[in-house]
Amino acid sequence: MRRLAARFFELFLFGAAPLLLMGACLGDATAAGPHHSDFWTFWSAGRDVLHGRSPYPTLDSLPHAASRMFAPFVYPPVSAFAMVPLALLPYGVAKAIYLLLSVAAIAFALRLLGVRDWRCFGVVFACAPAYAAVGLGAVGPFLLLGVALAWRYRDHALAAGLAVAAVISAKLFLWPLWFWLVRTRRYRAAAFAAGLGVGAVLASWAAIGFAGFREYPTLLGRLTELVGPHGYSVYAFERSLGVGSVAAERSLYVFAFAALALVAVVVRDERRAFVAVIAVSLFATPILWPHYLVLLVVPIALVTTRLSPLWVAPVLLWVDAPAWSKGTVWTGSLLVLVAAIAAAAMWRRPAPLPRLRVKPLTGV
C-alpha cells in the first residue's frame, strides 16, 4: 500500500502537476493580449520585413523610462526573417503554433541531451524559467534547443557551427559559445559558425536596405540603460548599488574576457568548458530575464540524466520569479543560485551520457 501511495504521489508531483501548470501557462498565454507577449514583437518584426519595412524603432521614438510593456525589436534581423512563415498567419493562429513549438523545443532539447527520466521532464516544465519562457512567447526554448544541438553534434563541424551561429544570431549574449569551439580546437566548426553567422546577419540586413544598421550599437546601449536595471543581471545588481551605467557595462566586458581566459588556462575538459561558457554568457549579459535561465537545463543534463537534487534546484527560482526585479539588491539572490547550479554542474563527476539512436551526420 505504501509503495502504491508513493507511486501515485510521484506520478502527481512529476507528471500531473507539471502538465496542469504548463496547461495553465498555455491557456493564459493564449488569452493574453498582444502587448503582453514577446511573441507580438517577433510576429510584428516578421510582418515588417515581409512588407519591406525596418523592424527597428528609431532612437527618437524610445521613451525616457521603460515600462513592463516596453518590448521593441532589438535582435539581429535574422530573427525577424525567421518569423516570416508565422507572420503570414493571423496573430492568434501564429501564436498558438509558436507556443506549442516552444514546448516541443524544450522536450526535444532534453532528448538531445540524453535525458530519458520522465521525472526530469516534469521538473523542467514545472520550473519558473520554462513557465516564463513559454508563457511570454520568448525565444528561450529555441535557444535551449540550439545549445543542445551544438553539444549533441559537437564533433560534426557544419552542424555544430550552424547551431552556434543560429543561437548567437538570435541572442548576441551567447557569443562565448563560439569561444568554446575555439577552446576545444574545433576550428572548422568555429569557422563555419563565424562565416554562417556573419553572412546571415549581413544578408538579412541587406534585404531591408541596412535599415538601423549604423544605429544598432547605440540602440543596444540605450536599451541596456532603459531595461537593464530592471532585470536580474550583474549589471542590474551593480546599478542597484549605485554604479553608473557605463561603469557597470564595462565591468561586464572585463569579467567576460577574464573568465574566458581563466577557462582557457584552467578548464581542460570539454564538458566543463561548455558549462563554463554558458555560465559566462548568463553573467556577462547586461540584460538577464528569468526565462533566460531555462538554459541551465544544459549544465544539469551534462552531469546527470536522471532525477537528482540538481534537477530540482531551478524550481527554487519560483521564489523570485517576477519578470522585473524593480532594481533591488535582491537581484543578487538569483545570481547566487545560478552560480551554485553552474558550479555544481562543473565540478561534479558526470554520469555516462547515453547516445541517441539517430543516424549520425556526415562529418564535414
Q: Is residue 43 within 8 Å of residue 94, measured between CB atoms?
A: yes
The tens digit of pLDDT for each residue in 354-363 reads: 444 445 545 4
d(CA 45, CA 250): 30
Higher pLDDT, 28 or 340: 340
pLDDT at 24: 83
In degrees and rounded to multiples of 5, residue 181 shows phi and psi of -60, -40
pLDDT at 349: 66
Count other Cβ atoms within 10 Å, centred on residue 56: 22
pLDDT at 301: 94
pLDDT at 322: 60
The tens digit of pLDDT for each residue in 63-116 reads: 877 776 678 899 999 999 999 999 999 999 999 999 999 999 999 999 999 999
Closest alpha carbon to 322 in 34, 59, 128: 128
The tens digit of pLDDT for each residue in 12-56 reads: 778 888 888 888 888 877 777 776 688 999 999 999 999 888 999
Gyration radius of the chain over CA positions: 20
Determine the Cα angle at 251 with ends 166 and 227, to 5°: 65
Percent of the chain with pLDDT over 70: 90
CA end-to-end span of the chain: 57
d(CA 87, CA 27): 21
The tens digit of pLDDT for each residue in 254-288 reads: 999 999 999 999 988 899 999 999 999 999 999 99
pLDDT at 13: 77
Closest alpha carbon to 130 in 103, 104, 108, 168: 103
pLDDT at 186: 96
- Residue 310 Cα distances to 21, 76, 144, angstroms: 21, 34, 18
Would you say residue 332 has pLDDT above 50? Answer: yes
The tens digit of pLDDT for each residue in 223-232 reads: 999 888 888 8
d(CA 52, CA 209): 9
DSSP-H helix ranges across 184-293: 187-207, 216-227, 234-240, 245-266, 270-284
pLDDT at 352: 53
User: Residue written as cell 540586413?
Assistant: 205
pLDDT at 296: 94
pLDDT at 364: 43
Closest alpha carbon to 133 in 307, 297, 300, 344: 297
Higher pLDDT, 24 or 320: 24
Contacts of 132 (CB under 8 A, 6+ apart): 138, 140, 289, 290, 291, 321, 323
The tens digit of pLDDT for each residue in 127-170 reads: 989 998 998 899 999 999 999 999 999 999 999 999 999 999 99
Q: Is residue 293 within 8 Å of residue 340, measured between CB atoms?
A: no
Output the pTM of the full model: 0.91
Q: Is residue 228 within 8 Å of residue 235, measured between CB atoms?
A: yes
Closest alpha carbon to 66 in 321, 236, 217, 317: 236
Give the number of C-alpha atoms closer than 13 A to the C-alpha of residue 261, restricted to the C-beta side: 6
pLDDT at 355: 47
Higher pLDDT, 44 or 333: 44
